[in-house]
C-alpha cells in the first residue's frame, strides 16, 4: 500500500524574527493544508530548510507535526543526511515519534558512488521498519541515483518503496519505471512536471506549489488519477507561470515570499538563504495575481 497518493506538500518551516521555529504558525498552516485537501505532509524537506536545522530541531519539528496531524493524513519525515549515521538516527527517531514514512535525500557533497548509495540506503533502512522514499535531486546534491541503482534498491531493500524524482529528466523517469517493472511508488519532485510523471505511472507529487495552492494541486492530481486527463493537463499548463515564479530564485526563497505576501506570516529564511530580490518579487507578485492568489 502506498504511503500516499495525490498531492503531498513539501511544507515550509515558519520562523520567528529571531529565526527560531514558529510552532504556532506551523500548527496553523498544517490545519490550512489539511482543510485544503492536501494528501500528505512532508516535513523537514528542502522547502522546510532542513539543511539549517539542528538535529534536535529536526526531530522536534517532525514530532510536533505528527502530534498535530493526528493521523488525519500521512506525515512523511525528511530524514536524509550526507552522513549515514546521522540519517539513521533521524530515521529511527522519526519512527519512534510516529511518522508514516521517510523521505531520504541522496547524500549531498560527498558524491557517493552508486555502490555507496546502495550501502547508504541499506544501512538506513535496516534500522527502521518505515517505508522510505528515495529523493533524487542531483541539481542540489551533485549525486544522481541511476535507474539501475534504484531498481536494485527496490529489489533488495523491502522498505525502499518509492522515489521522489526531481532530476527533471523525463527519460530518466521512464527508465526507472521500465527497470522497476512498476514496482515503485513514483512521485514528481517538480511542480512543472506533475502530469508528465503521472503519465509514466506516477501516483502523486511532493509539491512546493501546494504551500500556496493546496486545493489546486490536489485536484490536478485527483483528476488525472480518476481519468479526467484532459482537465488535469490543462491545469498543469495553466500553472506553469506560477511554477516558474516559485523557482525564480532557489527554493524556498520564493515560496516563503509568496506566503508572506498572502498574509500567512511564515517569517524569514535562515542564512545562507536571503530574502527575494526586488525584481524577482515583482515577477512573483504578477504570477500570483494572474493565478488568483492575490
Q: How confident is the model at residue 102 (pLDDT cuts 50, 70, 90)?
A: very high
The confidence score (pLDDT) of residue 1 equals 76
Which residues does the annotation mark as catalytic? 135, 164
188-204 pLDDT tens trace: 999 999 999 999 999 99
228-287 pLDDT tens trace: 999 999 999 999 999 999 999 999 999 999 999 999 999 999 999 999 999 999 999 999
Question: How far is the CA of 103 from the CAs of 45, 255, 278, in angstroms?
Answer: 8, 20, 33
40, containing H or E segment? strand 40-43
The confidence score (pLDDT) of residue 23 equals 98
Residue in 18, 10, 7 with CA at minimum distance from that of residue 268: 18
The confidence score (pLDDT) of residue 276 equals 98
127-145 pLDDT tens trace: 999 999 999 999 999 999 9
The confidence score (pLDDT) of residue 103 equals 98
The confidence score (pLDDT) of residue 182 equals 83
Architecture (CATH level 2) of domain 6-229: Alpha-Beta Barrel (3.20)
Amino acid at each position: 500500500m502506498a504511503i500516499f497518493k495525490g498531492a503531498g506538500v513539501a511544507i515550509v518551516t515558519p520562523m520567528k524574527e529571531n529565526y527560531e521555529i514558529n510552532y504556532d504558525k506551523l500548527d496553523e498552516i498544517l490545519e490550512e493544508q489539511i482543510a485544503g485537501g492536501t494528501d500528505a505532509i512532508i516535513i523537514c524537506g528542502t522547502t522546510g530548510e532542513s539543511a539549517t536545522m539542528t538535529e534536535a530541531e529536526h526531530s522536534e519539528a517532525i514530532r510536533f507535526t505528527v502530534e498535530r496531524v493526528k493521523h488525519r493524513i500521512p506525515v512523511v519525515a525528511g530524514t536524509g543526511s550526507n552522513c549515514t549515521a546521522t540519517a539513521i538516527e533521524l530515521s529511527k527517531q522519526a519512527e519512534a515519534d510516529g511518522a508514516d514514512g521517510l523521505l531520504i535525500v541522496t547524500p549531498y557533497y560527498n558524491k557517493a558512488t552508486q555502490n555507496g548509495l546502495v550501502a547508504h540506503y541499506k544501512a538506513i533502512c535496516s534500522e527502521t521498519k518505515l517505508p522510505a522514499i528515495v529523493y533524487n535531486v542531483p541539481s542540489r546534491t551533485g549525486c544522481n541515483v541511476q535507474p539501475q541503482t534504484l531498481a536494485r534498491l527496490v529489489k533488495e531493500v523491502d522498505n525502499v518503496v518509492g522515489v521522489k524524482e526531481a532530476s527533471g529528466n523525463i527519460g530518466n523517469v521512464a527508465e526507472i519505471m521500465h527497470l522497476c517493472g512498476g514496482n515503485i511508488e513514483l512521485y514528481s519532485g517538480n511542480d512543472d512536471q506533475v502530469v508528465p510523471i503521472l503519465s509514466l505511472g506516477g501516483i502523486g507529487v511532493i509539491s512546493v506549489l501546494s504551500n500556496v495552492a493546496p486545493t489546486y494541486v490536489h485536484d490536478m492530481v485527483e483528476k488525472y488519477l480518476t481519468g479526467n486527463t484532459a482537465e488535469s493537463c490543462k491545469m498543469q499548463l495553466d500553472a506553469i507561470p506560477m511554477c516558474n515564479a516559485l523557482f525564480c530564485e532557489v527554493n524556498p526563497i520564493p515560496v516563503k515570499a509568496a506566503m508572506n505576501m498572502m498574509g500567512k506570516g511564515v517569517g524569514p529564511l535562515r542564512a545562507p538563504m536571503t530574502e527575494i530580490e526586488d525584481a524577482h518579487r515583482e515577477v512573483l507578485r504578477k504570477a500570483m495575481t494572474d493565478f488568483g492568489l492575490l
